[in-house]
Structure 1
Amino acid sequence: MNLSRRSLLLTMASAGVVGLPGQVVAQSAPEGEMVPIELFQDAQELDGLVRLGHPHGYVIMMEFFDYNCPWCKRSANDLEALLKAESEVSYILVNFAILGAESVQATKIALAFRELMGSDKYLPLHLALFKLKGTVNGERAIAEAVKLGANQEKLLEIANSQKIINQMTAALRVGNSLGINVTPSYILGNTSYAGGITLPEKLKIIAKAREG
């Protein structure tokens, strides 16, 4: 998906939290590719990131994900186990809605939840959205956010703000610069991995990054 297509989705998102059906793209086994380390550093400066694990980890792993991506769901299921196994890794979540307008709507709510409730309370929402069966849209994301204590009126106000649009646009721009066009995609230093990665594979590439 090119940047113009992503921009179109963001334009559709500006109207509210109800969108059109999204598209789920089949994933293939990932292969590591070199990326400029400067772009990885730029990605870490994005507004709206969710930082998990060690606050100053020797290894930093970024995951670009979409709430309607099946491999992202598997990654979310492995996340707590990975953080337990690799307590000194900094794991950064990047909302990267590229699978349709419904993904855009869910991402707007998720980012608004982060703004309203704080990054330290984001993980329960992240896991809850990935536990949902079927398409995750704005309305379903709102329901989960409210269950976790968010005020719906304030949540919607933030979700439809320019700040959230700016966060999403910046993430898409940086992702485009990194050559990311599928979810999940992972960045560790100067290496990117596109597509689904199992927990054992993640542990291997983290070990490789640590040795490097």
Structure 2
Amino acid sequence: MKSTLSALALAVSLAAPAAALDLEAMTDTERALFRQEVRAYLLDNPEVLMEAIGVLEQREAAQQADADRQLAASYREALVNDGHSWVGGNPDGDVTMVEFMDYRCGYCRRAAPEVDELVAADGNIRLIIKEFPILGEGSMLSSQFAIAALQLHGDDVYKDVHDALLALRGDATEESLAQLADVMGLDADEIFERMGSDEVARIIAENRALAQQLQISGTPTFVLDDQMLRGYLPLAQMAQMVDAVRAEDS
């Protein structure tokens, strides 16, 4: 409703001469006639309102992009060098992609193979995964399991666990995670003990605090250097964004 009213105001400014916009200088009768004329004009020319809505959306998108750039720059160190997140792809890549993800998020699952394909095909992207469980107990258990696996067994095992959790059917429970640990040759008791540690809790809390500071409330959310992508984007468009980031940096 707010955006529609803003677009209507913009449409009036597009449709009416500048002198007619000084409503305070009009008499009540002139103001009523002016409003009638504007309404009639918009009813006869609805494309003006659609044009105004398009212009407003472009302005809002540009303002959001600028705000996102400022946020990404302000929290750059926490994004790319927190000391606890998994780092994959090319550690020396010229573009860093940070993903905030949740294992129960359908769009995260959809994006995962495309992100892997992009990173592999490009060869010069540094990928950082931020565990960001926001969709309930199953999400929390999965992130705790993944972080514990990373701490106990390192990067390669984490990536295998990460992929397996994204492919897991049904909700993650202690029973299903114990079965997953067994299938992967991991000590479930050891992992469960680490899952409940203060260190794992601290990492998740830090990721959530960082997401709040960046105004991230959904998954997946990607940060490409100083650009933020809120939501799923197909592989081809994501590759275009990487190219755009490189062009800006060159």
* Number of residues of Structure 1 aligned to a counterpart in Structure 2: 182
The answer to whether 1:107 aligns with 2:143 is: yes
Distance 1:137 1:184 in 2: 22
Q: Which runs of 5+ in 2 are unaligned?
A: 1-60
The answer to whether 1:87 aligns with 2:123 is: yes
2:171 counterpart (126, 135, 141):
135
Distance 1:67 1:176 in 2: 19
1:148 counterpart (159, 184, 189):
184
The residue number in structure 1 matching 2:21 is none
CA deviations 1:83-139 (Å, max 9, x no partner) are 221111101111100111221111111110111110132111111111122333444
Instruction: Please tell me the root mean square deviation across aligned C-alpha atoms, in Å.
Output: 1.6
Distance 2:163 2:151 in 1: 17
How far 1:147 moved relative to its partner? 2.0
Compared CA separation, residues 40 and 117, structure 1 to 2 (3 A)? same
- Larger relative contact order, structure 1 or 2 (CA cutoff 8 Å, min sep 6): 1
Q: Which runs of 5+ in 1 are unaligned?
A: 1-30
Compared CA separation, residues 115 and 65, structure 1 to 2 (3 A)? same
The residue number in structure 1 matching 2:24 is none
TM-score for both structures, normalised by structure 2: 0.68
The residue number in structure 2 matching 1:170 is 206
Alignment partner of 1:64: what SS? Answer: strand
How far 1:151 moved relative to its partner? 0.9
Map 1:33-112 → 2, pairs under 5 A: 33=65, 34-35=68-69, 36=71, 37-112=73-148
Query: Contact 1:46 / 1:170 at 8 angstroms: preserved in 2?
Result: no
TM-score for both structures, normalised by structure 1: 0.80
Distance 1:146 1:179 in 2: 38
Structure 1 stretches of 4+ with a deviation exceeding 4 A read none
The residue number in structure 2 matching 1:125 is 161
Structure with max Cα Rg: 2
How far 1:184 moved relative to its partner? 0.2
Range with bigger deviation, 40-49 or 171-180: 40-49
Which structure has greater helix proportion? 2
CA deviations 1:139-188 (Å, max 9, x no partner) are 43343233222211110111000000000000000111111100000001
Letter in 1 for 2:126: S
The residue number in structure 2 matching 1:187 is 223
Compared CA separation, residues 127 and 96, structure 1 to 2 (3 A)? same
Distance 2:174 2:131 in 1: 14
Compared CA separation, residues 117 and 211, structure 1 to 2 (3 A)? same
Distance 1:108 1:138 in 2: 11
The answer to whether 1:201 aligns with 2:233 is: no
Alignment partner of 1:115: what SS? Answer: helix
CA deviations 1:51-80 (Å, max 9, x no partner) are 111011110000100000000001112233
Distance 1:208 1:138 in 2: 43
Letter in 1 for 2:123: S
Distance 1:114 1:147 in 2: 17
How far 1:41 moved relative to its partner? 2.4
